[in-house]
Amino acid sequence: MTGTNLSSAGLDARRAKALFRSWHRGMREVDLILGGFADAEIASLTDAELDQYEELLGAPDGDLLRWVTGERPVPEAFQTPVMKRILASRRSVSA
């Protein structure tokens, strides 16, 4: 997998920017985690969920990877419905 499978055509500017940021993180593992989630979910996120996702995009890659792999607990500030969906989607991929 080299990047998004979703075109930003048809997405509003905010969602298109979030999709781009999801695939251009700096750490390939996090690109795949967040990019895969964004491909599947970005178009259907509510405005409140998109707020949560944008906050998550601001977190450092190393922290995100540790949270998703379970190496470190997710801080309370990031224990949102969107983060729970990301974690659930990762569990279903590895099952």
Q: Is the pLDDT of residue 94 over 70?
A: no
Q: Model's pTM, two decimal places?
A: 0.86
Q: Examine residue 56 and state whether it is found in any structural domain, yes or no.
A: yes
**What is the band of 89 on the pLDDT scale with cuts at 50, 70, 90?**
confident
Asked, for residue 72, whether it belongs to a domain, the answer is: yes
How many domains, in total, are found in the chain?
1
In a domain? residue 76: yes
Compute the half-sphere exposure of residue 40: CA atoms within 13 Å on the CB side of its CA. Answer: 12
Give the position of tokens 């599947």.
40
Would 4 be classed as within a structural domain? no
Cβ contacts of residue 18 below 8 Å, gap of 6+? 38, 42, 50, 53, 54, 57
Greatest Cα-to-Cα distance within the chain, rounded to the nearest angstrom:
37
Tell me which residue range forms the domain holding 59.
34-94
5 versus 71: the higher-pLDDT residue is 71
Rounded Cα distance between 95 and 75, Å, is 25
Residue 81, in any domain of the structure: yes
The verdict on residue 21 lying in a domain is: no
Residue at 28 is within a domain: no
Please report the pLDDT score of residue 77 as a whole number: 96
Residue 50 in domain: yes
